[in-house]
Amino acid sequence: AQRVTQPEKLLSVFKGAPVELKCNYSYSGSPELFWYVQYSRQRLQLLLRHISRESIKGFTADLNKGETSFHLKKPFAQEEDSAMYYCALNPYNFNKFYFGSGTKLNVKP
């Protein structure tokens, strides 16, 4: 069963516009959620995780257990934010790790 859903394969926004990358998960217990990012010609790397509740590069993500979502947001997109973004889930008490299919963010000048 699909555990992590990222409905948008591609998201294009203009520089300075707000951006929201959607992530929904299916898990009834307590999840641990992450956003990983892959910039062009770089390795996949952690952007942020919900338990740290911090803002990284202006991005934030809030876990909404009611809607089972963990959307990634940034109020003003920059061209350097263009990358592939993956939402990931580690269900507590299950030794598994699930990645979403990814969303390619393209920030246009």
Partner 1 sequence: DSGVTQTPKHLITATGQRVTLRCSPRSGDLSVYWYQQSLDQGLQFLIQYYNGEERAKGNILERFSAQQFPDLHSELNLSSLELGDSALYFCASSVGGIGDEQFFGPGTRLTVL
Binding of residue 25 to partner 1 (CB under 8 A): no
Shorter beta-carbon distance to partner 1: residue 90 or 106: 90
The number of angstroms, rounded, from the C-alpha of 82 to the middle of its chain's C-alpha atoms is 13
Candidates 11-19, 20-28, 54-62, 93-101; binding stretch for partner 1 (CB under 8 A):
93-101
State the binding string over 41-60 for partner 1 (x if CB under 8 A, else -). Answer: --xxxx--x-----------
Q: Largest Cα–Cα distance of the chain, in whole Å?
A: 44
What 3-state class would DSSP assign to 25? strand
Shorter beta-carbon distance to partner 1: residue 52 or 64: 52
CA dist 49 and 72 (Å) reads 11
Question: Which residue in this structure is represented by tokens 């509740």?
Answer: 53
Interacting residue with partner 1 among 22, 26, 68, 99 (CB under 8 A)? 99
CB burial of residue 84 (10 Å; 0-12, 13-18, 19+): middle
CA dist 55 and 35 (Å) reads 12
Candidates 13-21, 22-30, 39-47, 64-72; binding stretch for partner 1 (CB under 8 A):
39-47
Binding of residue 95 to partner 1 (CB under 8 A): yes
Interface positions with partner 1 (CB under 8 A): 32, 36, 43-46, 49, 86, 90, 95-102
